[in-house]
Amino acid sequence: MTPIKSVTLVTLFAVLFMSCDDFGNLNNDPNNPSQVRTELLLTNAERSIDNVVGATTGTLLVQYIGETQYTDAQEYRNMNANFNGWYTGPLQSLQTIINLNSDPETAPDVLSGGSNANQIAVARILKAYFYQMMTDRWGMIPYSEALQGRDNFSPAYDLQEDIYADIINELKEAVNQMDGGTGVRGDILFDGDMDQWALFANSLRARAALRIADANPSLAASEFADAVSDGLISEDVMYPYLAEANNQNPWYARFQTRTDYAIHKTIADYMKDLEDYRILVYANPAPNYSDNDPEVTFDEIQGMPFLEDAGELTNDEISFPGAAIGGGGPAVGDQGADLPIITVAEMHFAMAEASERGWIADDAETHYLAGIEASWNQWGVYDADNFADYIAQAEVAYDPAVWDEKIGNQKWIALFPHGYEGWAEWRRLGYPELTPNPFGVGVEPEIPVRFTYPTSEATINQDNYEAAVQAQGPDTPYTRVWWDVN
Protein backbone atom coordinates (compact mmCIF):
# COMPACT_ATOMS: atom_id res chain seq x y z
CA MET A 1 0.00 0.00 0.00
CA THR A 2 1.52 3.32 -1.02
CA PRO A 3 1.27 6.39 1.24
CA ILE A 4 -0.98 8.07 -1.33
CA LYS A 5 -3.64 5.46 -0.63
CA SER A 6 -3.74 5.67 3.14
CA VAL A 7 -5.16 8.21 5.53
CA THR A 8 -2.54 10.60 6.81
CA LEU A 9 -1.16 10.16 10.29
CA VAL A 10 -1.54 13.89 10.88
CA THR A 11 -5.16 13.48 11.86
CA LEU A 12 -4.30 10.62 14.21
CA PHE A 13 -1.80 12.51 16.31
CA ALA A 14 -3.21 16.03 15.98
CA VAL A 15 -6.77 15.21 17.06
CA LEU A 16 -8.66 12.71 19.21
CA PHE A 17 -12.29 11.70 19.37
CA MET A 18 -13.70 10.60 22.75
CA SER A 19 -16.93 8.60 23.02
CA CYS A 20 -17.12 7.57 26.69
CA ASP A 21 -19.54 10.30 27.81
CA ASP A 22 -21.11 8.21 30.61
CA PHE A 23 -18.38 9.16 33.06
CA GLY A 24 -18.83 12.93 32.92
CA ASN A 25 -15.50 14.72 33.23
CA LEU A 26 -13.58 11.80 34.72
CA ASN A 27 -12.17 10.74 31.35
CA ASN A 28 -11.47 14.23 29.98
CA ASP A 29 -7.73 14.58 29.51
CA PRO A 30 -6.87 18.31 29.21
CA ASN A 31 -3.74 17.40 27.28
CA ASN A 32 -5.71 15.57 24.57
CA PRO A 33 -8.52 17.61 23.02
CA SER A 34 -11.88 15.88 22.66
CA GLN A 35 -12.74 17.91 19.57
CA VAL A 36 -10.89 18.18 16.29
CA ARG A 37 -8.67 21.24 16.08
CA THR A 38 -8.94 22.13 12.42
CA GLU A 39 -6.82 25.22 12.98
CA LEU A 40 -3.88 22.91 13.71
CA LEU A 41 -4.48 21.08 10.45
CA LEU A 42 -4.55 24.39 8.58
CA THR A 43 -1.27 25.54 10.10
CA ASN A 44 0.27 22.19 9.27
CA ALA A 45 -0.86 22.44 5.64
CA GLU A 46 0.32 26.04 5.25
CA ARG A 47 3.76 25.17 6.54
CA SER A 48 4.16 22.81 3.58
CA ILE A 49 4.27 25.89 1.33
CA ASP A 50 7.86 26.15 2.52
CA ASN A 51 8.60 23.02 0.47
CA VAL A 52 7.35 24.80 -2.65
CA VAL A 53 8.84 28.28 -2.39
CA GLY A 54 12.07 27.11 -0.76
CA ALA A 55 12.79 24.08 -2.97
CA THR A 56 16.12 23.82 -4.80
CA THR A 57 15.51 21.69 -7.91
CA GLY A 58 13.57 24.32 -9.84
CA THR A 59 16.23 26.94 -9.13
CA LEU A 60 18.83 24.65 -10.68
CA LEU A 61 16.78 23.95 -13.80
CA VAL A 62 16.28 27.65 -14.62
CA GLN A 63 19.83 28.57 -13.63
CA TYR A 64 19.05 30.79 -10.68
CA ILE A 65 21.36 28.65 -8.56
CA GLY A 66 24.36 26.44 -9.31
CA GLU A 67 25.71 23.49 -7.36
CA THR A 68 29.23 23.88 -6.02
CA GLN A 69 30.06 20.32 -4.97
CA TYR A 70 27.50 17.62 -5.69
CA THR A 71 26.23 18.39 -9.16
CA ASP A 72 23.87 15.50 -9.97
CA ALA A 73 20.73 17.64 -9.84
CA GLN A 74 21.98 20.33 -12.21
CA GLU A 75 23.24 17.58 -14.50
CA TYR A 76 19.62 16.35 -14.73
CA ARG A 77 20.31 13.01 -13.02
CA ASN A 78 17.67 13.27 -10.29
CA MET A 79 14.37 13.96 -12.02
CA ASN A 80 12.48 11.14 -10.33
CA ALA A 81 10.48 12.46 -7.41
CA ASN A 82 7.93 11.06 -4.98
CA PHE A 83 4.61 12.89 -4.84
CA ASN A 84 3.14 10.73 -2.08
CA GLY A 85 4.10 13.11 0.71
CA TRP A 86 1.93 15.86 -0.77
CA TYR A 87 -1.10 13.58 -0.59
CA THR A 88 -0.49 12.23 2.90
CA GLY A 89 0.60 15.63 4.22
CA PRO A 90 -0.99 18.97 3.31
CA LEU A 91 -3.62 17.66 0.91
CA GLN A 92 -4.98 15.13 3.41
CA SER A 93 -5.01 17.77 6.16
CA LEU A 94 -6.98 20.11 3.92
CA GLN A 95 -9.39 17.38 2.84
CA THR A 96 -9.98 16.55 6.50
CA ILE A 97 -10.88 20.20 7.15
CA ILE A 98 -13.35 20.08 4.26
CA ASN A 99 -14.88 16.79 5.39
CA LEU A 100 -15.33 17.85 9.01
CA ASN A 101 -16.85 21.20 8.10
CA SER A 102 -19.15 19.65 5.50
CA ASP A 103 -20.59 16.88 7.68
CA PRO A 104 -23.62 18.11 9.67
CA GLU A 105 -22.62 15.85 12.55
CA THR A 106 -19.11 17.26 12.94
CA ALA A 107 -19.49 20.82 11.58
CA PRO A 108 -20.67 22.29 14.93
CA ASP A 109 -17.66 20.79 16.70
CA VAL A 110 -14.97 22.46 14.57
CA LEU A 111 -16.02 26.11 14.78
CA SER A 112 -12.88 26.92 16.75
CA GLY A 113 -11.22 27.03 13.33
CA GLY A 114 -13.59 29.67 11.94
CA SER A 115 -16.94 29.54 10.22
CA ASN A 116 -17.62 26.28 8.42
CA ALA A 117 -17.91 27.96 5.03
CA ASN A 118 -14.71 29.96 5.45
CA GLN A 119 -12.73 26.92 6.56
CA ILE A 120 -13.89 24.97 3.53
CA ALA A 121 -13.10 27.90 1.23
CA VAL A 122 -9.53 28.29 2.49
CA ALA A 123 -8.92 24.54 2.32
CA ARG A 124 -10.13 24.48 -1.28
CA ILE A 125 -7.85 27.39 -2.19
CA LEU A 126 -4.81 25.71 -0.70
CA LYS A 127 -5.66 22.37 -2.28
CA ALA A 128 -5.78 24.12 -5.65
CA TYR A 129 -2.42 25.76 -4.92
CA PHE A 130 -0.70 22.47 -4.09
CA TYR A 131 -2.34 20.56 -6.92
CA GLN A 132 -1.25 23.11 -9.50
CA MET A 133 2.34 22.84 -8.32
CA MET A 134 2.11 19.04 -8.53
CA THR A 135 0.52 18.80 -11.97
CA ASP A 136 3.02 21.34 -13.30
CA ARG A 137 5.82 19.05 -12.13
CA TRP A 138 4.46 15.62 -13.14
CA GLY A 139 1.65 16.28 -15.59
CA MET A 140 -1.13 13.74 -15.08
CA ILE A 141 -1.53 12.87 -11.40
CA PRO A 142 -4.19 11.24 -9.19
CA TYR A 143 -6.79 13.95 -8.61
CA SER A 144 -10.49 13.16 -8.76
CA GLU A 145 -10.00 9.77 -7.06
CA ALA A 146 -7.27 10.90 -4.65
CA LEU A 147 -7.59 11.42 -0.88
CA GLN A 148 -10.24 8.73 -0.45
CA GLY A 149 -8.17 6.58 1.90
CA ARG A 150 -9.36 3.02 2.25
CA ASP A 151 -12.24 3.69 -0.14
CA ASN A 152 -9.80 3.74 -3.05
CA PHE A 153 -6.29 2.38 -2.73
CA SER A 154 -5.63 2.67 -6.48
CA PRO A 155 -6.59 6.15 -7.68
CA ALA A 156 -6.63 6.85 -11.40
CA TYR A 157 -4.57 9.63 -12.94
CA ASP A 158 -6.50 12.59 -14.37
CA LEU A 159 -5.74 14.40 -17.59
CA GLN A 160 -3.95 17.66 -16.87
CA GLU A 161 -6.54 19.50 -18.93
CA ASP A 162 -9.25 18.29 -16.55
CA ILE A 163 -7.16 19.05 -13.47
CA TYR A 164 -6.60 22.63 -14.58
CA ALA A 165 -10.27 23.18 -15.37
CA ASP A 166 -11.21 21.96 -11.90
CA ILE A 167 -8.46 23.94 -10.13
CA ILE A 168 -9.76 27.12 -11.74
CA ASN A 169 -13.31 26.24 -10.80
CA GLU A 170 -12.34 25.41 -7.21
CA LEU A 171 -10.62 28.77 -6.77
CA LYS A 172 -13.66 30.60 -8.10
CA GLU A 173 -16.20 28.64 -6.05
CA ALA A 174 -14.11 28.94 -2.90
CA VAL A 175 -14.31 32.72 -3.02
CA ASN A 176 -18.02 32.62 -3.75
CA GLN A 177 -18.74 30.48 -0.69
CA MET A 178 -17.04 32.76 1.82
CA ASP A 179 -19.82 33.77 4.17
CA GLY A 180 -18.67 36.88 6.03
CA GLY A 181 -18.48 34.88 9.25
CA THR A 182 -15.51 34.26 11.51
CA GLY A 183 -12.26 34.12 9.60
CA VAL A 184 -10.10 31.02 9.71
CA ARG A 185 -7.81 30.47 12.67
CA GLY A 186 -4.40 28.86 12.62
CA ASP A 187 -3.69 30.94 9.51
CA ILE A 188 -0.03 32.01 9.24
CA LEU A 189 -0.47 33.65 5.83
CA PHE A 190 -3.26 36.21 6.31
CA ASP A 191 -4.19 35.86 9.99
CA GLY A 192 -7.75 34.94 9.06
CA ASP A 193 -8.39 37.95 6.81
CA MET A 194 -10.89 36.51 4.33
CA ASP A 195 -10.65 39.51 2.01
CA GLN A 196 -6.97 38.72 1.55
CA TRP A 197 -7.79 35.07 0.95
CA ALA A 198 -10.18 36.12 -1.82
CA LEU A 199 -7.55 38.27 -3.53
CA PHE A 200 -5.04 35.44 -3.17
CA ALA A 201 -7.46 32.98 -4.78
CA ASN A 202 -8.23 35.37 -7.63
CA SER A 203 -4.50 35.83 -8.26
CA LEU A 204 -3.90 32.08 -8.24
CA ARG A 205 -6.75 31.74 -10.73
CA ALA A 206 -5.11 34.35 -12.98
CA ARG A 207 -1.83 32.45 -12.71
CA ALA A 208 -3.53 29.15 -13.59
CA ALA A 209 -5.44 30.69 -16.49
CA LEU A 210 -2.28 32.18 -17.95
CA ARG A 211 -0.49 28.84 -17.70
CA ILE A 212 -2.97 27.26 -20.12
CA ALA A 213 -2.98 30.21 -22.52
CA ASP A 214 -1.74 28.19 -25.49
CA ALA A 215 -3.44 24.91 -24.59
CA ASN A 216 -6.98 26.16 -23.93
CA PRO A 217 -7.11 29.81 -25.08
CA SER A 218 -10.84 30.31 -24.65
CA LEU A 219 -10.96 29.10 -21.04
CA ALA A 220 -7.75 30.96 -20.25
CA ALA A 221 -9.03 34.25 -21.64
CA SER A 222 -12.39 34.19 -19.89
CA GLU A 223 -11.08 33.06 -16.53
CA PHE A 224 -8.15 35.46 -16.51
CA ALA A 225 -10.38 38.44 -17.28
CA ASP A 226 -12.86 37.32 -14.65
CA ALA A 227 -10.13 36.94 -12.03
CA VAL A 228 -8.83 40.44 -12.76
CA SER A 229 -12.35 41.83 -12.53
CA ASP A 230 -12.80 40.16 -9.12
CA GLY A 231 -9.58 41.75 -7.85
CA LEU A 232 -5.93 40.74 -7.60
CA ILE A 233 -3.39 41.16 -4.82
CA SER A 234 -1.98 44.63 -4.22
CA GLU A 235 0.73 43.42 -1.84
CA ASP A 236 3.24 40.60 -2.23
CA VAL A 237 2.20 37.32 -0.62
CA MET A 238 5.25 36.00 1.21
CA TYR A 239 5.86 32.89 3.27
CA PRO A 240 6.55 34.15 6.82
CA TYR A 241 9.68 32.50 8.16
CA LEU A 242 10.81 33.07 11.73
CA ALA A 243 14.18 33.73 13.30
CA GLU A 244 14.07 30.33 15.01
CA ALA A 245 14.87 26.79 13.95
CA ASN A 246 11.27 25.56 13.95
CA ASN A 247 10.31 27.69 10.94
CA GLN A 248 13.50 29.12 9.52
CA ASN A 249 14.29 30.14 5.97
CA PRO A 250 15.56 27.07 4.08
CA TRP A 251 18.35 28.97 2.34
CA TYR A 252 19.59 30.10 5.72
CA ALA A 253 19.47 26.53 7.01
CA ARG A 254 21.39 25.17 4.03
CA PHE A 255 24.36 27.39 4.74
CA GLN A 256 24.83 26.67 8.41
CA THR A 257 27.13 23.69 7.87
CA ARG A 258 27.52 23.44 4.07
CA THR A 259 28.15 25.59 1.02
CA ASP A 260 26.50 23.54 -1.72
CA TYR A 261 24.78 26.33 -3.66
CA ALA A 262 25.95 29.53 -5.34
CA ILE A 263 24.25 32.11 -7.51
CA HIS A 264 24.38 30.82 -11.09
CA LYS A 265 26.54 32.50 -13.68
CA THR A 266 23.65 32.69 -16.16
CA ILE A 267 21.44 34.97 -14.07
CA ALA A 268 24.37 36.80 -12.48
CA ASP A 269 25.95 37.77 -15.79
CA TYR A 270 22.63 38.67 -17.41
CA MET A 271 21.70 41.02 -14.59
CA LYS A 272 25.19 42.48 -14.17
CA ASP A 273 25.38 43.35 -17.86
CA LEU A 274 22.17 45.35 -17.46
CA GLU A 275 23.24 46.87 -14.13
CA ASP A 276 20.17 45.37 -12.54
CA TYR A 277 20.44 46.27 -8.87
CA ARG A 278 18.40 43.28 -7.78
CA ILE A 279 21.44 41.04 -8.32
CA LEU A 280 23.11 42.85 -5.41
CA VAL A 281 20.53 41.38 -3.04
CA TYR A 282 20.04 38.09 -4.89
CA ALA A 283 23.71 37.37 -4.29
CA ASN A 284 26.48 38.26 -1.87
CA PRO A 285 29.95 39.45 -2.94
CA ALA A 286 32.52 36.81 -3.82
CA PRO A 287 35.28 37.25 -1.21
CA ASN A 288 38.12 37.37 -3.75
CA TYR A 289 36.35 40.17 -5.61
CA SER A 290 35.15 42.15 -2.61
CA ASP A 291 36.82 45.27 -1.27
CA ASN A 292 34.86 44.91 2.00
CA ASP A 293 33.11 48.20 1.34
CA PRO A 294 29.50 48.05 2.61
CA GLU A 295 28.35 49.31 -0.80
CA VAL A 296 28.47 46.27 -3.06
CA THR A 297 29.32 46.71 -6.75
CA PHE A 298 28.37 44.57 -9.72
CA ASP A 299 31.96 43.40 -10.20
CA GLU A 300 31.86 41.74 -6.78
CA ILE A 301 29.12 39.33 -7.87
CA GLN A 302 30.56 36.20 -9.47
CA GLY A 303 28.23 33.47 -10.61
CA MET A 304 28.90 29.74 -10.56
CA PRO A 305 29.44 28.38 -14.10
CA PHE A 306 28.77 24.84 -15.26
CA LEU A 307 31.95 22.85 -14.73
CA GLU A 308 32.81 19.20 -15.22
CA ASP A 309 34.46 19.41 -11.81
CA ALA A 310 32.70 22.02 -9.69
CA GLY A 311 35.53 21.78 -7.17
CA GLU A 312 37.76 23.72 -9.54
CA LEU A 313 36.38 26.90 -7.99
CA THR A 314 36.85 27.74 -4.33
CA ASN A 315 34.23 29.40 -2.18
CA ASP A 316 36.21 32.62 -2.29
CA GLU A 317 35.70 32.88 -6.04
CA ILE A 318 31.91 32.66 -6.18
CA SER A 319 28.86 34.45 -4.80
CA PHE A 320 26.44 32.65 -2.52
CA PRO A 321 22.71 33.45 -2.48
CA GLY A 322 22.10 36.79 -0.84
CA ALA A 323 21.04 37.34 2.73
CA ALA A 324 17.89 39.04 1.39
CA ILE A 325 16.53 35.58 0.55
CA GLY A 326 18.06 33.96 3.62
CA GLY A 327 21.30 32.57 2.19
CA GLY A 328 24.81 33.90 2.31
CA GLY A 329 27.31 31.27 3.38
CA PRO A 330 28.75 30.24 6.75
CA ALA A 331 27.59 32.48 9.61
CA VAL A 332 25.92 34.85 7.14
CA GLY A 333 22.27 35.13 6.26
CA ASP A 334 18.81 36.02 7.49
CA GLN A 335 17.09 33.22 9.37
CA GLY A 336 13.70 34.87 9.13
CA ALA A 337 13.85 36.18 5.55
CA ASP A 338 10.49 35.71 3.81
CA LEU A 339 10.22 34.05 0.40
CA PRO A 340 7.65 34.97 -2.28
CA ILE A 341 4.56 32.85 -2.93
CA ILE A 342 2.98 35.20 -5.46
CA THR A 343 3.86 38.83 -6.05
CA VAL A 344 2.52 42.07 -7.43
CA ALA A 345 5.31 41.98 -10.02
CA GLU A 346 4.13 38.59 -11.29
CA MET A 347 0.57 39.88 -11.62
CA HIS A 348 1.70 42.91 -13.63
CA PHE A 349 3.64 40.70 -16.04
CA ALA A 350 0.59 38.46 -16.32
CA MET A 351 -1.61 41.44 -17.18
CA ALA A 352 0.96 42.68 -19.71
CA GLU A 353 0.75 39.33 -21.47
CA ALA A 354 -3.04 39.24 -21.20
CA SER A 355 -3.16 42.68 -22.80
CA GLU A 356 -1.06 41.48 -25.73
CA ARG A 357 -3.34 38.46 -26.12
CA GLY A 358 -6.40 40.71 -26.16
CA TRP A 359 -7.90 39.31 -22.97
CA ILE A 360 -8.06 42.64 -21.14
CA ALA A 361 -8.19 46.21 -22.43
CA ASP A 362 -5.09 47.47 -20.64
CA ASP A 363 -1.78 48.78 -21.93
CA ALA A 364 0.80 46.01 -22.04
CA GLU A 365 3.84 48.28 -21.75
CA THR A 366 2.42 50.00 -18.68
CA HIS A 367 2.01 46.68 -16.88
CA TYR A 368 5.40 45.44 -18.08
CA LEU A 369 7.20 48.46 -16.63
CA ALA A 370 5.07 48.31 -13.50
CA GLY A 371 6.11 44.69 -13.07
CA ILE A 372 9.80 45.59 -13.18
CA GLU A 373 9.27 48.50 -10.79
CA ALA A 374 7.28 46.31 -8.37
CA SER A 375 10.10 43.78 -8.36
CA TRP A 376 12.70 46.46 -7.66
CA ASN A 377 10.54 47.67 -4.78
CA GLN A 378 10.02 44.12 -3.55
CA TRP A 379 13.76 43.70 -3.11
CA GLY A 380 14.36 47.22 -1.78
CA VAL A 381 16.62 48.46 -4.59
CA TYR A 382 14.38 51.03 -6.28
CA ASP A 383 15.98 54.37 -7.13
CA ALA A 384 14.29 56.59 -9.69
CA ASP A 385 17.45 57.47 -11.62
CA ASN A 386 18.84 53.93 -11.67
CA PHE A 387 15.47 52.58 -12.69
CA ALA A 388 15.09 55.08 -15.52
CA ASP A 389 18.52 54.10 -16.86
CA TYR A 390 17.66 50.42 -16.57
CA ILE A 391 14.38 50.47 -18.51
CA ALA A 392 15.88 52.71 -21.22
CA GLN A 393 18.28 49.96 -22.32
CA ALA A 394 17.43 48.22 -25.58
CA GLU A 395 17.47 44.80 -23.90
CA VAL A 396 14.88 45.94 -21.35
CA ALA A 397 12.75 48.53 -23.20
CA TYR A 398 9.38 47.10 -24.19
CA ASP A 399 8.73 45.98 -27.75
CA PRO A 400 5.28 44.54 -28.58
CA ALA A 401 6.74 42.74 -31.58
CA VAL A 402 8.65 40.44 -29.21
CA TRP A 403 6.43 40.71 -26.14
CA ASP A 404 6.94 37.07 -25.21
CA GLU A 405 10.71 37.49 -25.09
CA LYS A 406 10.56 40.77 -23.17
CA ILE A 407 8.05 39.51 -20.61
CA GLY A 408 9.72 36.10 -20.39
CA ASN A 409 13.14 37.53 -19.61
CA GLN A 410 11.91 40.00 -17.02
CA LYS A 411 9.51 37.56 -15.41
CA TRP A 412 12.36 35.07 -15.04
CA ILE A 413 14.33 37.66 -13.09
CA ALA A 414 11.36 38.73 -11.00
CA LEU A 415 10.32 35.20 -10.02
CA PHE A 416 13.69 34.53 -8.34
CA PRO A 417 14.14 32.51 -6.13
CA HIS A 418 10.84 30.65 -6.75
CA GLY A 419 12.35 27.89 -8.87
CA TYR A 420 9.20 25.92 -9.66
CA GLU A 421 7.37 29.01 -10.95
CA GLY A 422 10.42 30.16 -12.89
CA TRP A 423 10.72 26.70 -14.46
CA ALA A 424 7.02 26.58 -15.35
CA GLU A 425 7.07 29.99 -17.03
CA TRP A 426 10.31 29.19 -18.87
CA ARG A 427 8.68 26.04 -20.27
CA ARG A 428 5.54 27.94 -21.24
CA LEU A 429 7.09 31.03 -22.85
CA GLY A 430 10.42 29.65 -24.00
CA TYR A 431 12.32 32.57 -22.48
CA PRO A 432 14.96 33.27 -21.45
CA GLU A 433 16.92 31.21 -23.94
CA LEU A 434 18.81 28.99 -21.54
CA THR A 435 21.75 26.83 -22.60
CA PRO A 436 21.60 23.35 -21.03
CA ASN A 437 24.40 22.18 -18.79
CA PRO A 438 26.97 20.76 -21.26
CA PHE A 439 27.93 18.17 -18.66
CA GLY A 440 24.37 16.99 -18.20
CA VAL A 441 22.90 13.60 -18.99
CA GLY A 442 23.04 12.50 -22.63
CA VAL A 443 25.20 13.19 -25.64
CA GLU A 444 23.33 16.45 -26.23
CA PRO A 445 21.92 17.40 -22.81
CA GLU A 446 18.51 19.03 -22.59
CA ILE A 447 16.86 20.81 -19.68
CA PRO A 448 14.14 18.51 -18.30
CA VAL A 449 10.51 19.59 -18.71
CA ARG A 450 8.87 17.35 -16.08
CA PHE A 451 9.54 15.04 -13.15
CA THR A 452 9.13 11.29 -13.55
CA TYR A 453 6.63 9.40 -11.42
CA PRO A 454 7.50 7.70 -8.11
CA THR A 455 9.00 4.29 -8.83
CA SER A 456 6.46 2.65 -6.52
CA GLU A 457 3.58 3.65 -8.80
CA ALA A 458 4.72 1.32 -11.59
CA THR A 459 4.23 -1.67 -9.31
CA ILE A 460 1.63 -0.82 -6.68
CA ASN A 461 -0.67 1.29 -8.87
CA GLN A 462 0.41 -0.36 -12.10
CA ASP A 463 -2.77 -0.22 -14.19
CA ASN A 464 -3.39 3.46 -13.53
CA TYR A 465 0.29 4.32 -13.95
CA GLU A 466 0.40 2.59 -17.31
CA ALA A 467 -2.82 4.30 -18.42
CA ALA A 468 -1.28 7.68 -17.57
CA VAL A 469 1.89 6.90 -19.49
CA GLN A 470 -0.18 5.75 -22.47
CA ALA A 471 -2.18 8.99 -22.42
CA GLN A 472 0.62 11.44 -21.65
CA GLY A 473 3.70 9.87 -23.19
CA PRO A 474 6.82 8.10 -21.93
CA ASP A 475 7.62 8.55 -18.25
CA THR A 476 10.79 10.52 -18.94
CA PRO A 477 11.94 14.05 -18.04
CA TYR A 478 11.48 15.08 -21.68
CA THR A 479 7.77 14.36 -22.17
CA ARG A 480 6.01 17.71 -22.21
CA VAL A 481 3.04 18.33 -19.96
CA TRP A 482 -0.25 19.27 -21.61
CA TRP A 483 0.08 23.05 -21.41
CA ASP A 484 3.72 23.09 -22.61
CA VAL A 485 3.04 23.45 -26.32
CA ASN A 486 6.01 25.65 -27.27
Convert the pLDDT of each residue in 116-140 to its tens digit: 999 999 999 999 999 999 999 999 9
> Taking residues 447-461, what's their average pLDDT?
96
Per cent of the chain over pLDDT 70 is 93
Give CA–CA dist 465/157, Å, rounded.
7
Residue 53: Cβ within 10 Å count: 22
Q: So what's the pLDDT on residue 49?
A: 98
Q: Which of 1-10, 84-93, 107-116, 233-242 has the lowest mean pLDDT?
A: 1-10
Q: So what's the pLDDT on residue 8?
A: 38
Give CA–CA dist 282/262, Å, rounded.
10
Give CA–CA dist 123/98, Å, rounded.
7
Task: Decide if 33 contacts 15 (C-beta within 8 A).
Answer: yes
Look at the domain 3-58+81-229+458-472 and name its fold: 1.25.40
Residue 19 has pLDDT above 60, yes or no: no
CA atoms within 13 A on the CB side of 479: 18
Give CA–CA dist 305/300, Å, rounded.
15
Query: pLDDT confidence of 153, banded at 50, 70, 90?
Result: confident
Convert the pLDDT of each residue in 417-426 to its tens digit: 999 999 999 9
Taking all residues of the chain, what is their mean pLDDT, rounded to a whole number?
A: 92
Give CA–CA dist 255/326, Å, rounded.
9
3-class DSSP state for residue 80?
Answer: strand
Q: What secondary structure letter does DSSP report for 89?
A: I
Convert the pLDDT of each residue in 256-282 to its tens digit: 989 999 999 999 999 999 999 999 999
Give CA–CA dist 122/113, Å, rounded.
11
Q: So what's the pLDDT on residue 26?
A: 40
Q: What are the percentages of helix, strand and coil residues in the chain, rounded to 5?
A: 50, 5, 45
Beta-strand ranges (E) seen in 37-88 are 65-67
Query: pLDDT confidence of 293, banded at 50, 70, 90?
Result: confident
Nearest of 231, 129, 132 to residue 189 by alpha carbon: 129
Nearest of 111, 106, 127, 123 to residue 182 by alpha carbon: 111
Task: Decide if 378 contacts 344 (C-beta within 8 A).
Answer: yes
Q: What is the dihedral of CA 267, 272, 275, 281, to 10 degrees?
A: 70
Q: So what's the pLDDT on residue 31?
A: 47
Q: So what's the pLDDT on residue 443?
A: 79
Greater confidence (62 vs 3) lies with 62
Give CA–CA dist 456/462, Å, rounded.
9
Give the C-alpha distances (Å, rounded to integers) separating 464 from 83, 401, 457, 471: 15, 44, 8, 11
Task: Decide if 80 contacts 49 (C-beta within 8 A).
Answer: no
- CB contact burial 80-94 (16+ within 10 A = b; e otherwise): ebebbbbbbbbbbbb
Q: So what's the pLDDT on residue 332?
A: 81
Single-letter amino acid code for the residue at 40:
L
Q: What secondary structure letter does DSSP report for 25?
A: T
> Taking residues 328-339, what's their average pLDDT?
88
Convert the pLDDT of each residue in 375-401 to its tens digit: 999 999 999 999 999 999 999 999 999
Strand partners, 340: 238
Give CA–CA dist 208/168, Å, rounded.
7
Give CA–CA dist 121/172, Å, rounded.
10
Give CA–CA dist 39/50, Å, rounded.
18
> Taking residues 447-475, what's their average pLDDT?
97
Residue 34 has pLDDT above 90, yes or no: no
Residue 459 has pLDDT above 80, yes or no: yes
3-class DSSP state for residue 123?
Answer: helix
For the chain, which residues make up each domain, given as ranges?
3-58+81-229+458-472, 245-337
Give CA–CA dist 36/445, Å, rounded.
51
Q: Which of 27-36, 222-231, 242-251 has the lowest mean pLDDT?
A: 27-36
Helices and strands, number each (H, E), in the chain: 20, 6
- CB contact burial 220-243 (16+ within 10 A = b; e otherwise): bbebbbebbebebbeebbbbebee
Strand partners, 67: 261
Give CA–CA dist 480/385, Å, rounded.
43
Question: What is the three-state SS of 206-231?
Answer: HHHHHHCCCCCHHHHHHHHHHHHHHC
Nearest of 69, 77, 88 to residue 11 by alpha carbon: 88
Residue 315 has pLDDT above 90, yes or no: yes
